[in-house]
A and B are shown apart, each in its own frame.
Chain A
Amino acid sequence: MAHKSSRRLRSPTTEAPAARYTLMALAFLFLTLFLLLPLVAVFIEAFRKGTAEFLAAFGDPDTLAAIRLTLLVAVIAVPLNLVFGVAAAWAIAKFEFKGKAFLTTLIDLPFSVSPVISGLVYVLLFGAGSVLGPWLKSHGIEILFAVPGIVLATIFVTFPFVARELIPLMQEQGTGDEEAALSLGASGWQTFWYVTLPNIKWGLLYGVLLCNARAMGEFGAVSVVSGHIRGLTNTMPLHVEILYNEYNFVAAFAVASLLAALALVTLIVKTALELHYGAEIAAGRKH
Chain B
Amino acid sequence: MDVSVKNLRKEFDRYPALHDVSLDIRSGELIALLGPSGSGKTTLLRLIAGLEQPTLGSIHFGDEDASHKTVQERNIGFVFQHYALFRHMTVADNIAFGLTVRPRGERPPKAEIRRRVSELLEMVQLSGLEKRYPNQLSGGQRQRVALARAMAIEPRVLLLDEPFGALDAKVRKELRRWLREFHDRTGHTTVFVTHDQEEALELADRVVVMSQGKIEQVGSSDDVYDRPNSPFVFSFIGDSASVPVSIVDGSVRFRGDEIGVAAPEGDIVSGEATLFFRPQDVAVVTDPSAPALEGRVVTSRRLAGTRIADLDIGGADDPLHVEIEVPLDAQAANGTSIRFRPLRFKLFAK
Contact = CB atoms under 8 A, between A and B. Distances in A.
Given A176-B82, A286-B135, A183 B87 contact: no
Of A180, A185, A287, most B-chain CB atoms within 10 Å: A185
B166 to A, nearest CB: 9
Given A198-B88, A287-B134, A185 B101 contact: yes
A124 B149 CA distance: 57
B101 to A, nearest CB: 4
Interface string B74-89: 0111101011111110
A256 B341 CA distance: 94
A176 B135 CA distance: 16
A194 B101 contact: yes
Given A183-B71, A184-B98, A184-B101, A287 B49 contact: no
Contacts of A183: 49, 51, 71-72, 76-78, 150
Nearest to A190: B101
Interface residues of A, number: 20
A195 interface: yes
Nearest to B74: A183
A110 to B, nearest CB: 32
Interface in A258-278: none
A287 B140 CA distance: 12
Contact of A177 (B84, B98, B153): B84
Given A183-B78, A184-B153, A199 B84 contact: no
Nearest to B81: A176
B97 interface: yes
A182 B50 CA distance: 10
Nearest to A182: B71
A177 B51 CA distance: 13
B83 A287 contact: yes
13 contacts: A180-B149, A181-B86, A181-B101, A183-B49, A183-B51, A183-B76, A184-B97, A185-B72, A186-B72, A194-B86, A195-B86, A198-B88, A283-B87
Interface of B: 49, 51, 71-72, 75-78, 80, 82-88, 97-98, 101-102, 134-135, 142, 149-150, 152-153
